[in-house]
Amino acid sequence: MTDTSVTTISPPGTVQAQRNAGAGFWPSAIVVARRTVRKFVRTPQLIVYSSIQSVLFLLIFRYVFGGAIDVGGLPYVDFLVPGFIVTGVVFAGMGAAAGVAEDVEQGLFDRLRSLPIRRASVVAGRGLADTALVTWGLLIAAALGFAVGFRLHGSVAAALAAFGLCVLFGFAFSWVFITIGLLAGNAQAAQGMSMIVSPLVFASSAYVPVSSMPGWMQAVSDNQPVTPMVNAVRTLTGGPQMEALLGHSSGYYVGLSLIWAAAIVVVFGLLAVVRFSRR
């Protein structure tokens, strides 16, 4: 840091405490990220409730609604599980909003803001941690998917690419929820505000084919981020038959979902950093 070159004159005979240069950007981001991960791991309620909720969700769609949903003759489980995984990434991110709001409320962020570190590094650390937590949730969701009968119809490389995309979506959505947490003021408000995202999840291709919706709803569904994200994962894991059902190639959906993810990161990442650094 260039700041440290400025010297102050210390009065003679007094002990001058050293100036603290502070940690660099990435070291502080990692320290902040470790704290968020530790908090998650050591708060079993967080893990248990979110896992139970997602298991029930999967079972209900797979075994209750599934029989009534026609996906062009393909097994519904192969249609559902990519939707379940991507929306799981979104739902997992919601916890970040409440967590961030709590940190604001309880003064932990004030302490971090008073330390000699780049303020953006705190926000970056939170984003890193949330991405790590989302990845953990993804692994569980994928395992559950396979357990209820989901199978790959494409290459392993394509499946790995799908996994990577999901991590990226998690990273992108974590910025939305970090921003909500910073704006909300308290944890309850943050939770309420993040519920706004639920319609986005349901009004998408995640659980049912878009073609089964009325025309105006199809327009909503096609022009929001969750649909191309789900379809990207779906076409990468479902192979040519799934591409035929959805009407576009995997390349098309991957490209479109990457654009959405990039736009979300830029807009909400900036909002979060500006909001956190403001004084």
Partner 1 sequence: MTPILEAAGLTKRFGKTQALAGLDLVVKPGRVVALLGPNGAGKTTFVRAVATLLRPDTGTLQVAGINALRHPAQVRQVIGLAGQFAAVEPAMTGRENLEMVGRLFGLDRRRARAAAAAVLDQIQLTEDADRLVRTYSGGMRRRLDLGASLVGAPRLLLLDEPTTGLDPGSRVQLWDAIRQLVAAGTDVLLTTQYLDEADRLAADIVIIDHGTVIAAGTPSELKTRAGDDVIEVHVRNAAALPEVAAVLATVGRDPRTDLAMHRASVAVEDGTSRLMEAVRALDRVGVAVEDISLRRPTLDEVFLTLTGKPTDTAGPEAA
* Inter-residue contact 84 to 57 (CB < 8 Å): yes
- Of 1-9, 142-150, 160-168, 205-213: span binding partner 1 (CB under 8 A): 1-9
User: For partner 1, which is the closer residue by CB, 38 or 151?
Assistant: 38
- Nearest C-alpha neighbor of 127 from the set 260, 26, 28, 33: 33
Q: Which of residues 28-67 bind partner 1 (CB under 8 A)?
A: 28, 31-32, 34-35, 38-39, 42-43
Least gap, CB of 34 to partner 1 (angstroms):
8
Does position 156 interact with partner 1 (CB under 8 A)? The reply is: no
Please report how close the Cβ of residue 138 comes to partner 1 at its closest, in angstroms. 23
Q: How far is the CB of 133 from partner 1 (least distance, A)?
A: 14
Cα–Cα distance for residue pair 101/177, rounded to 1 Å: 10
Distances (CA, A) of 61 to 84, 152, 214, 237, 279: 9, 19, 21, 19, 47
- CB closer to partner 1, 1 vs 68: 1
Residues written for the chain: 279
The whole-angstrom separation of Cα 99 and Cα 103 is 6
Residue 209 in contact with partner 1, rule: CB under 8 A: no
Q: Which two tokens stand for residue 261?
A: 């993810």
Query: Could you tell me the maximum CA-CA distance found in the chain, to the nearest angstrom?
Result: 86
Question: Is residue 279 within the footprint of partner 1 (CB under 8 A)?
Answer: yes
Q: Which of residues 64-123 bind partner 1 (CB under 8 A)?
A: 106-108, 110-117
Q: How far is the CB of 40 from partner 1 (least distance, A)?
A: 8
Q: Which stretch binds partner 1 (CB under 8 A): 17-25, 53-61, 178-186, 206-214?
A: 17-25
Q: Which string of DSSP letters, residue by residue, matches 230-245?
A: HHHHHHHHHHHHHHHH
Task: Quote the Cα angle for 106-188-223, to 5°.
Answer: 120
CA distance 118 to 140: 34
**Shortest Cβ 3–partner 1 spacing (Å):** 5
Smallest distance from partner 1 to CB 229, Å: 31
34 or 153: whose CB is closer to partner 1? Answer: 34
Counting residues that bind partner 1 (by CB under 8 A) gives 39
**92 token code pair:** 């997992």
CA torsion through residues 230, 72, 66, 75, sign: negative
Take residue 32 and report the two structure tokens written for it.
């902040």
From candidates 27, 72, 185, 251, binder to partner 1 by CB under 8 A: 27
The binding site for partner 1 (CB under 8 A) comprises 1, 3-4, 6, 8-9, 11, 14-23, 27-28, 31-32, 34-35, 38-39, 42-43, 106-108, 110-117, 279
